[in-house]
A and B are shown apart, each in its own frame.
Chain A
Amino acid sequence: AQRVTQPEKLLSVFKGAPVELKCNYSYSGSPELFWYVQYSRQRLQLLLRHISRESIKGFTADLNKGETSFHLKKPFAQEEDSAMYYCALTRAAGNKLTFGGGTRVLVKP
């Protein structure tokens, strides 16, 4: 069975501080990992996917297969980063997304 764990329900940081959202997964095969974000009163949207190895809005995430982790990081948080963040997993040739419980990020001025 596939499972995604986000241990922090809430992260509160000051503007300009680094932020790291933890994500651990369990899956026996070769998964694809994603981070989705939901800003206030907006729909859920893809932030980044591990296969792209890109930085979006200053966020990066590295897949660590040894530690089965896919933590999301940003060196300097901005107020507009305040949102709900979900880590998600799917099979490499799969379909449904399995989501973590989500982490609410609050960036204080």
Chain B
Amino acid sequence: GAGVSQSPSNKVTEKGKDVELRCDPISGHTALYWYRQSLGQGLEFLIYFQGNSAPDKSGLPSDRFSAERTGGSVSTLTIQRTQQEDSAVYLCASSLGGARPYEQYFGPGTRLTVT
């Protein structure tokens, strides 16, 4: 079956522009996660969705970052007024969710470059 997919795979944007990153989780997975992978910071958690709700947004680095999930499926991570330090690979993962920490399946990532 299809795994987690993300689009675009690469995005180059100018500083100050807004970007939207998309994640399509595995069908039936109720939990969805966004992480960021950067040279200086390693792999950092950004936000977690259970269904359409986000009970944990603790990793969002600033109010320029927001995310939503609709229909318990697709999620969009939006970065407003991008800065050069936002350059990173943004990873999405999904899992069965619930109380148990089921295995998280990762997407291929979106490489964001802010020039």
Q: Which residues of B contact A44 (CB under 8 A)?
A: 91, 93, 106
Please tell me if B112 contacts chain A, counting CB pairs below 8 Å: no
Please classify how large the interface on chain B is, using the bins under 10, 10 to 19, 20 to 34, 35 or more.
20 to 34
State which of B17-25, B41-49, B65-73 sits at the interface with chain A: B41-49
Most buried by B among A86, A97, A98: A97
Q: Which residues of B contact A86 (CB under 8 A)?
A: 43
A97 and B99 form a contact (CB under 8 A): no
Q: Which of B45, B103, B107 is A98 in contact with, Cβ under 8 Å? A: B45
| Chain A facing B: main interface SS | loop
**How many cross-chain pairs have Cβ atoms below 8 Å apart between A and B?**
49
Which chain B residues (38-67) contact chain A, with CB distance < 8 Å? 42-45, 48, 50, 55-56, 59
Q: Report if A104 contacts B (CB, 8 A).
A: no
Contact B42 A99 (CB under 8 A): yes
Contact, CB under 8 Å: A95 / B31? yes
- In the assembled complex, which residues on chain B have CB atoms less than 8 Å from the CB atom of A95? 31, 33, 48, 50, 55-56, 97, 101
- A96 contacts B33, C-beta separation under 8 Å: yes
Encode A25-61 as 1/0 by CB contact (under 8 A) with B: 0000000100000000001111001000000000000
**A90 interface neighbour in B59, B91, B101, Cβ under 8 Å:** B101
Q: Is the CB of B107 within 8 A of A43?
A: yes
Q: Assuming A46-B104, A99-B43, what are 11 further A-B pairs, CB within 8 angstroms?
A: A43-B106, A43-B108, A43-B109, A44-B91, A49-B103, A86-B43, A92-B101, A95-B56, A95-B97, A100-B42, A101-B42
The chain A residues found within 8 Å of chain B, CB to CB, are 32, 43-46, 49, 86, 90-102
